[in-house]
Structure 1
Amino acid sequence: MHVPDGFINAPVSAVAGIVAAGAVAVSLRGARRELGGERTAPLAGLVAAFIFAVQMLNFPVAAGTSGHLLGGALAAILVGPYTGVLCIAVVLLMQGVLFADGGLTALGVNITVMGVVTTVVAYALFRGLTRALPRTRRSTTTASFVAALVSVPAAAAVFTLIYAIGGTTDVPVGKVLTAMVGVHVLIGIGEAVITALTVGAVLAVRPDLVHGARGLAAPLKLRVGGELVDAPAAAPAPTPVAARSTRKVWATGLVAALLLAGFVSFYASASPDGLEKVAADKGIDRKVQEHDAAGSPLADYGVKDIGNARISGGLAGVIGVGVTVAVGSGVFWAVRRSRTPDAPVPRTAESV
């Protein structure tokens, strides 16, 4: 759903840029609380790189139409909603500047739609579901599935609203809304599957690293005199340093991202994604503009002057993952370092 230049007029794009900048500023403050542990900054950078890689894997959803992960739900559940917004913003910035994917004047629109809307909607629904459901890993995974599913058509609806206000073509908004929400419900199913599988995998290995699963374990109950009471809390056993380390998780995640972007992406669907298909069918793209970075050496996810499509695309994906994890980790490290000295550091499994 990367909006190119020319879909939305300049005044509305500017307003969307201001909204996105405000959301990023708020997220920078909120992320200082979420990035409490020493190892959380590189993990957040890894999440951004993993989302970048998975977004390269377009999957078919209907005849002649594909979809890809938006990632807001996944980022919010894994590293927190504020950090999640920053993760998506970093990914969109890298895609726009290096790969000519998503217009530069439309960057504010893309961050608002793909980053802010998906993250806020998904995390609000996720928290509501986890409070209502039993506090188990299965319930957490189910909640992540539902939250991711709903976040995608919600983003499509917000894009339609922005188009209704500042679209550059005269197309009936009702038709755009029906088409956008309809196809993105299908894309949302793929988003939900990817999100649930990823969250479930991390929960199975290191539940302490899933922001949305903090406090997952319910207190042990004992039946005393016919009534259920909380069992006395046992003294926590010292956790070995090796058990607290996130190096294996980080390395495994990075290798997975590199394989997805460098190899699996070659087999992704070549069909236009949901927005591209709707834009072509409804005429939204009549005034689309060439990307300012169209001449970039990595434009369109290929390395310039390399004729072999497999090698060119794979190398571009690997470079993208490397740059995103480096930039993301640097941003999150700087955010964490900017904590005020008297700010309380949340107690997590990494800090106890």
Structure 2
Amino acid sequence: MHVPDGFINVPVSAATGVVAAAAVAVSLKGARRELDERTAPLAGLVAAFIFAVQMLNFPVAAGTSGHLLGGALAAILVGPFTGVLCVSVVLLMQGVLFADGGLTALGVNISDMAIVTTVVAYLVFRGLVKVLPRKRRSITVASFVAALLSVPAAAVAFTVIYALGGTTDVSIGKVATAMVGVHVLIGIGEAAITALTVGAVIAVRPDLVYGARGLTQPLKLRVGGELVDAPAAEPAPVPAAARSARPVWIAGIVASLVLAGFVSFYAATSPDGLEKVAHDKGIDKKAEDHAAADSPLADYGVKDIADARLSGGLAGVIGVGVTVVAGSGIFWALRRRRTNDTSPAAVPESVTSEKA
């Protein structure tokens, strides 16, 4: 659903840019509360994994394909604020390096694909977790439904943005019907990928899944005929090897590199949902060439490498590497800032004096 340049006029593009910048600023502050020594490295991995899986278009209807948006997956694995940042990093890398998604439309894409999907998915997810049994399977079920609904929500958001600033005169009703219809189908694929990924991480390291925190129910004791919470037991020491997220990180990086560097060659080549609707309804009449169309990695291929398989594979591997480095750098910086803010040196002297 990457919106190219020329679909949305300058005033609305600028307005969405302001919205996106404000949301990223809020997310930077919120992510400092979500990130710890476990989730900081995982967040960079999530961004790289989303980049890789977005290269795997899957068929959803005759002549139409879809791909992961990733907002639901990121929000559930590392938290909603960090999730917005993960998807934003992916969109920035795609727009600047791979000419995927317009640069003047970056605010539109972040607002639609990062903010709307993450917020809608996480709200649905939290609502379902509250009413479903407190079991690991409930997290997977809630992930599926949240991801499924997040995609048509993004389609509705794009339609609203296009109604406000579209550059062609088309029937908004027809655009809305077509966008929501095809993205419901894409949402099924999004839901399956999200549920499978979340379920896989929960199966091996449930403590790394932000949305699964507090999953266990407190032990109940019957006292005087009434059920009361049992006193919390002292946690047993956990071996350092069990606490380390390194095995999960390595497995995730390897999976991302294989998906982007090899499996992506077999992805569906049909236009995605937005491209198909834009062509059928005439939205793309004023589409503009990408400012980075001459990039060495434009269109997910390495310039001057004739072999399509090798060119696409190398581009995918480079994209995963750049995304994980950029994402991990941002999240580690946020983590370090949180640590510095909560260290004794960061507490004003007057406060420490009063406590003394």
TM-score, normalised with respect to structure 1: 0.95
Say if 2:187 is the partner of 1:182: no
User: Partner of 2:353 in structure 1?
Assistant: none
> Counterparts in 2 of 1:62-141, with a 5 A limit?
62-141=61-140
Cα distance in 1 for residues equivalent to 2:72 and 2:308: 32
Matched position secondary structure for 2:65: strand
> Counterparts in 2 of 1:107-256, with a 5 A limit?
107-222=106-221, 227-256=226-255
Question: What whole-Å deviation, never above 9, does each CA across 1:101-142 have from its counterpart, x for those lacking one?
Answer: 000000000000000000000001100110111111111110
Matched position secondary structure for 1:70: coil
Code of the residue aligned with 1:119 in structure 2: it is T
Cα distance in 2 for residues equivalent to 1:339 and 1:218: 30
User: Partner of 1:303 in structure 2?
Assistant: 302
Q: More displaced, 257-266 or 235-244?
A: 235-244
1:343, CA displacement in angstroms?
3.8
Whether the 8 Å contact between 2:116 and 2:150 is mirrored in structure 1 is: yes
Say if 2:13 is the partner of 1:27: no
User: Partner of 1:17 in structure 2?
Assistant: 17
Whether the 8 Å contact between 2:101 and 2:109 is mirrored in structure 1 is: yes
User: Partner of 2:349 in structure 1?
Assistant: none
Larger Rg: 2
1:342, CA displacement in angstroms?
4.7
Provide closer, same or farther for how the CA distance between residues 267 and 25 of structure 1 changes in structure 2, counting only shifts above 3 A.
Answer: same
Cα distance in 2 for residues equivalent to 1:339 and 1:243: 24
1:296, CA displacement in angstroms?
0.5
Code of the residue aligned with 1:173 in structure 2: it is I
User: Partner of 2:348 in structure 1?
Assistant: none
Matched position secondary structure for 1:145: helix
Query: Identity rate of aligned residues, in percent?
Result: 81
Cα distance in 2 for residues equivalent to 1:38 and 1:206: 14
Matched position secondary structure for 2:5: coil
Cα distance in 2 for residues equivalent to 1:53 and 1:303: 16
Code of the residue aligned with 1:6 in structure 2: it is G
Matched position secondary structure for 1:88: helix
Code of the residue aligned with 1:23 in structure 2: it is A
User: Partner of 2:317 in structure 1?
Assistant: 318
Matched position secondary structure for 2:59: strand
Matched position secondary structure for 2:304: coil
Cα distance in 2 for residues equivalent to 1:134 and 1:66: 35
Code of the residue aligned with 2:13 in structure 1: it is S
1:230, CA displacement in angstroms?
3.1
Say if 2:39 is the partner of 1:40: yes
Code of the residue aligned with 1:61 in structure 2: it is V
Code of the residue aligned with 1:143 in structure 2: it is A
Cα distance in 1 for residues equivalent to 2:84 and 2:102: 19
Q: More displaced, 132-141 or 221-230?
A: 221-230
Matched position secondary structure for 1:57: coil
Cα distance in 2 for residues equivalent to 1:197 and 1:39: 21
Code of the residue aligned with 2:244 in structure 1: it is S
Code of the residue aligned with 2:267 in structure 1: it is A
Matched position secondary structure for 2:338: coil
Matched position secondary structure for 1:195: helix
Cα distance in 1 for residues equivalent to 2:25 and 2:230: 44
1:334, CA displacement in angstroms?
1.4
Code of the residue aligned with 2:195 in structure 1: it is A
User: Partner of 2:331 in structure 1?
Assistant: 332
Cα distance in 1 for residues equivalent to 2:267 and 2:57: 5
Whether the 8 Å contact between 2:38 and 2:208 is mirrored in structure 1 is: no
CA-atom RMSD, angstroms? 1.4
Cα distance in 2 for residues equivalent to 1:343 and 1:139: 34
Cα distance in 1 for residues equivalent to 2:294 and 2:46: 28
User: Partner of 1:269 in structure 2?
Assistant: 268
Question: What whole-Å deviation, never above 9, does each CA across 1:190-228 have from its counterpart, x for those lacking one?
Answer: 000000000000000000000001001111234567654
Question: What whole-Å deviation, never above 9, does each CA across 1:66-107 have from its counterpart, x for those lacking one?
Answer: 000000000000000000000000000000000000000000
> Counterparts in 2 of 1:336-351, with a 5 A limit?
336-339=335-338, 341-343=340-342
Code of the residue aligned with 2:4 in structure 1: it is P
Matched position secondary structure for 1:61: strand
- Length, aligned pairs only: 344
1:167, CA displacement in angstroms?
0.2
Whether the 8 Å contact between 2:30 and 2:82 is mirrored in structure 1 is: yes
Q: More displaced, 212-221 or 88-97?
A: 212-221
Cα distance in 1 for residues equivalent to 2:109 and 2:154: 10
Instruction: Mark the runs of 5 or more structure 1 residues left unpaired by the alignment.
Output: 345-352
Cα distance in 2 for residues equivalent to 1:39 and 1:303: 34
Matched position secondary structure for 1:212: helix
User: Partner of 1:350 in structure 2?
Assistant: none
1:50, CA displacement in angstroms?
0.2
Matched position secondary structure for 1:338: helix
